[in-house]
């Protein structure tokens, strides 16, 4: 009778999602002993869970969905991908409370019978551990009994059970993904890295530094995008353009203002010379010396451990490796504009070589895209003498930044002669004889722009096809899908850099590379979650736009309340002396506190100035610490200190000061 009553009570508690299932499970051990307790709880909890599941499915669907909307999303996604196995893992490692799993599962398409038996099997181990702890509790006869070895051990088992469960789930998951592949008995390498850009180079470097046997495969040029088509050539071009700009504005410095005369061919030759100067840092020779085997060729994953390499010398090689890092980068996105292929468009991949053959910059240049790359290139070419139309479909350039930043950027591009056409949609390209045109639409009106060159700078897309991801079934959605350890579906295959996202910077690629390499080589001991908490970036227009952490726009979107402090760089001695007195430092802090949540700097060398805030955020230093740090006079970096000073002024302890004033008055008596 007691058993029956207990059984019904347990079912009721579980079915009605009342609190107390865990206590009842312990009680089962105390009342009925291990075997009978487990039998009762196992069936009662599974039946009760299934009733709660049915209640949710048929009655509570709407209200539960309202209440647990976000958590439900995670569960649903899991069910879609892995169905029953996902429920099994939730039962084994209960990261969500028991009642919540029952209710939320009722809202998914899983079958009732499947839910029942998976719940029963999945919860069995946990039930045994809990009931066992209950049997030990029942044996306490005195206070001293609380510390009996049996009780301590059984409760320790309760504590470590989720960890063991997690290990079991990980092991099961691994078995499932690797099931159809046969693992080599031994491996040629510890690590194979696909791609020799920032992410690949740093991964290989770390591997070699810790004495791993590493092979790096690069299909084209060592150094990848950054060295050959991205950061390095664009910054070299920007420098020449800035000099031309200064010459043109000589009067600002008490010099004669003249129109700069130069050979564009020489400017481009300098760009290539600078690439060549940086090249040795990323060269095959350097990496070979560091202990990395570098193979020039195209790599393809043929199974989770084997990479086939079509070498550039025509040979094909297969190598096995315990771990692989995919660092295949991204390529420029070419929009599907009708007629685009009739007008010989350029991208960041092709413009450097194409323009190297020109004596003059293109007379009429269209730049598609109002992002960082589009803005940098538009301004640089305008300063070098091109007539530039920058076409951006959105309402403003640099859309990720605050509106006032976009306005400043637009104003400075416009001042340099760029025709910044925000709110203009590119419709098509047309070719008439030797003449090329782009047709754009603005507020229902079409405009036709004739150009001599057109650069597509509308974003870059991860390289996801052609090297085995499809065959291995590695999920991709704009980027290679990874978890927080940068593991793909296969825990021995990692991804880093542009191919993995979510950022597309050289420094984030290098940052991820550390995590990918360390997790790939030593993950069985300790895995590190990639840390995106403090990510800085800079758009190298003039004035530069640099940011780390939150801006006002994001704080607003995410409903985060912040204090905003500004310091205008127009008030800074050094900026005034340099005729660069424009821009600002804007700091977002926790209300009433000096903890920095984000910083935006617009101004000369903003990217360099930002470093102090990046350090502060990374290491939890507040604005008071920046204020208490000596900054050399007169430097641009003083802007950071003055901005911190502005914060201090806004947070004056008025009450305390009133007492100080009283005290000082009294001292004069």
| Nearest-approach distance from CB 539 to ligand FAD, in angstroms | 8
Q: In whole angstroms, give the CA distance from residue 96 to residue 470.
A: 33
Residue closer to ligand FAD (CB basis): 134 or 332: 332
The string of DSSP letters for 106-173 reads HTSS--HHHHHHHHHHHHHHHHHHHHHHHHHHHT--SGGGGG-HHHHHHHHHHHHHHHHHHHHHHHHH
The string of DSSP letters for 195-242 reads --SHHHHHHHHHHHHTT--EEEEESS-TTHHHHHTSHHHHHHHHHHHH
Residues 305-334 that bind ligand FAD (CB under 6 A): 327-330
- Non-local (6+) Cβ contacts of 648 within 8 A are 623, 624, 627
- 199 touching ligand FAD, by CB under 6 A: yes
Please choose, from the candidates 462, 196, 505, 500, the residue with its C-alpha nearest in 3D space to the C-alpha of residue 330.
Answer: 462
- 598 touching ligand FAD, by CB under 6 A: no
Instruction: Tell me, by CB under 6 A, how many residues bind ligand FAD.
Output: 37
Residue closer to ligand FAD (CB basis): 64 or 238: 238
Q: In whole angstroms, give the CA distance from residue 276 to residue 299.
A: 25
Q: Select from 194, 214, 421, 643 the one that contacts ligand FAD (CB under 6 A).
A: 194
| Nearest-approach distance from CB 240 to ligand FAD, in angstroms | 15
- 569 touching ligand FAD, by CB under 6 A: no
| Nearest-approach distance from CB 457 to ligand FAD, in angstroms | 7
- 608 touching ligand FAD, by CB under 6 A: no
Please choose, from the candidates 116, 103, 373, 340, the residue with its C-alpha nearest in 3D space to the C-alpha of residue 233.
Answer: 373
| Nearest-approach distance from CB 559 to ligand FAD, in angstroms | 30
- 374 touching ligand FAD, by CB under 6 A: no
- 198 touching ligand FAD, by CB under 6 A: yes
- 370 touching ligand FAD, by CB under 6 A: no
| Nearest-approach distance from CB 590 to ligand FAD, in angstroms | 28
The binding track of 223-242 with respect to ligand FAD, each residue x by CB under 6 A or -, is: -xxx--xxx--x--------
Residues 34-73 that bind ligand FAD (CB under 6 A): none
- 79 touching ligand FAD, by CB under 6 A: no
> How is the beta sheet containing 596-603 ordered, strand by strand?
536-539, 544-549, 596-603, 584-589, 563-568
| Nearest-approach distance from CB 233 to ligand FAD, in angstroms | 7
Go through 104-123 and write b for each residue having 16 or more CB atoms within 10 A of its CB, e for each that does not.
bbbbbebeeeebeebbbebb
- 369 touching ligand FAD, by CB under 6 A: no
Residue closer to ligand FAD (CB basis): 75 or 530: 530
Q: Select from 507, 527, 582, 595 the one that contacts ligand FAD (CB under 6 A).
A: 507
Strand locations in 379-514, DSSP E?
387-392, 419-422, 425-432, 435-442, 445-451, 453-456, 460-462, 476-477, 479-480, 493-495
For residue 499, what is the DSSP state?
G
| Nearest-approach distance from CB 193 to ligand FAD, in angstroms | 9
- 506 touching ligand FAD, by CB under 6 A: yes
- 498 touching ligand FAD, by CB under 6 A: yes
- 509 touching ligand FAD, by CB under 6 A: yes
Q: Which two tokens stand for residue 424?
A: 């203009």
- 294 touching ligand FAD, by CB under 6 A: no
DSSP 3-state assignment of 553? helix
| Nearest-approach distance from CB 201 to ligand FAD, in angstroms | 7
Segment near ligand FAD (CB under 6 A), from 28-36, 49-57, 220-228, 580-588?
A: 220-228
DSSP 3-state assignment of 300? strand
- Non-local (6+) Cβ contacts of 666 within 8 A are none
Q: Select from 42, 206, 218, 501 the one that contacts ligand FAD (CB under 6 A).
A: 218
Segment near ligand FAD (CB under 6 A), from 120-128, 379-387, 396-404, 506-514?
A: 506-514
Find residue 435's DSSP bridge partners: 432
Please choose, from the candidates 123, 170, 134, the residue with its C-alpha nearest in 3D space to the C-alpha of residue 28.
Answer: 134
- 219 touching ligand FAD, by CB under 6 A: yes
Q: In whole angstroms, give the CA distance from residue 83 to residue 76.
A: 9
Tokens 């060729």 appear where?
A: 297
Contact residues for ligand FAD, defined by CB under 6 A: 194-200, 217-220, 224-226, 229-231, 234, 298-299, 327-330, 348, 373, 463, 467, 497-499, 504-507, 509, 540
């Amino acid at each position: 009778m007691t058993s029956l009553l207990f059984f019904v009570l347990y079912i009721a508690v579980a079915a009605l999602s009342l609190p107390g299932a865990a206590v009842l499970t312990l009680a089962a051990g105390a009342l009925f002993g291990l075997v009978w307790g487990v039998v009762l709880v196992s069936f009662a909890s599974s039946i009760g869970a299934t009733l709660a599941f049915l209640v949710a499915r048929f009655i509570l669907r709407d209200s539960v969905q309202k209440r647990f909307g976000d958590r439900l999303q995670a569960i649903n996604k899991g069910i879609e991908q892995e169905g029953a196995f996902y429920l099994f893992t939730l039962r084994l490692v209960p990261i969500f409370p028991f009642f919540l799993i029952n209710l939320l599962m009722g809202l998914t398409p899983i079958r009732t019978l499947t839910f029942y038996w998976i719940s029963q099997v999945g919860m069995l181990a946990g039930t045994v551990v809990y009931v066992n702890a209950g049997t030990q509790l029942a044996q306490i006869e005195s206070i001293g009994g609380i510390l009996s070895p049996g009780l301590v051990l059984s409760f320790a088992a309760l504590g470590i059970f989720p960890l063991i469960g997690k290990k079991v789930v990980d092991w099961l998951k691994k078995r499932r993904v690797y099931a159809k592949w046969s693992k080599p008995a031994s491996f040629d390498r510890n690590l194979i890295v696909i791609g020799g850009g920032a992410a690949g180079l740093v991964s290989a470097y770390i591997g070699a530094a810790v004495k791993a046997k590493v092979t790096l495969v690069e299909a084209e040029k060592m150094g990848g995008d950054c060295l050959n088509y991205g950061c390095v050539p664009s910054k070299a071009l920007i420098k020449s353009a800035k000099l031309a700009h200064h010459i043109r504005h000589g009067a600002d410095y008490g010099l004669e203002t003249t129109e700069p005369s130069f050979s564009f061919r020489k400017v481009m030759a300098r760009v290539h010379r600078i690439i060549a100067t940086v090249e040795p840092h990323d060269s095959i020779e350097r990496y070979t010396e560091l202990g990395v085997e570098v193979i020039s060729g195209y790599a393809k994953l043929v199974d989770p451990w084997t990479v086939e390499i079509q070498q550039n010398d025509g040979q094909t090689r297969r190598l096995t490796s315990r771990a692989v890092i995919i660092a295949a980068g991204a390529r420029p996105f070419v929009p599907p504009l009708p007629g685009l292929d009739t007008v010989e468009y350029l991208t960041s991949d092709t413009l450097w070589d194409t323009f190297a053959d020109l004596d003059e910059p293109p007379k009429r240049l269209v730049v598609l895209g109002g992002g960082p790359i589009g803005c940098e290139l538009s301004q640089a070419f305008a300063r070098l003498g091109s007539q530039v139309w920058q076409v951006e479909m959105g309402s403003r350039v640099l859309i990720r930044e605050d509106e006032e930043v976009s306005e400043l950027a637009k104003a400075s591009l416009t001042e340099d002669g760029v025709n910044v056409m925000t709110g203009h949609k590119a419709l098509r390209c047309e070719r008439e004889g030797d003449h090329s045109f782009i047709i754009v639409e603005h507020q229902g009106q079409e405009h036709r722009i004739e150009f001599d060159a057109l650069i597509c700078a509308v974003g870059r897309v991860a390289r996801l096809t052609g090297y085995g991801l499809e065959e291995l079934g590695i999920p991709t959605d704009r980027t290679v899908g990874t978890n927080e350890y940068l593991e793909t579906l296969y825990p021995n295959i990692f991804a880093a850099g542009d191919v993995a996202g979510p950022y597309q910077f050289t420094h984030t690629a290098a940052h991820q590379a550390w995590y990918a390499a360390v997790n790939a080589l030593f993950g069985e001991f300790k895995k590190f979650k990639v840390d995106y908490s403090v990510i800085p970036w800079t758009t190298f227009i003039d004035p530069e736009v640099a940011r780390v952490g939150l801006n006002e726009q994001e704080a607003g979107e995410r409903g985060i309340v912040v204090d905003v402090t500004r310091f205008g760089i127009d008030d800074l001695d050094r900026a005034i002396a340099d005729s660069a007195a424009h821009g600002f430092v804007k700091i977002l802090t926790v209300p009433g506190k000096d903890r920095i949540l984000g910083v935006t700097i617009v101004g000369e060398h903003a990217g360099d100035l930002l470093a102090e805030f990046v350090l502060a955020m990374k290491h939890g230093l507040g604005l008071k610490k920046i204020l208490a740090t000596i900054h050399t006079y007169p430097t641009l970096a003083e802007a950071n200190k003055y901005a911190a000073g502005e914060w201090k002024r806004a947070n004056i302890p008025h009450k305390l000061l009133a007492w100080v004033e009283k005290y000082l008055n009294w001292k004069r008596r």
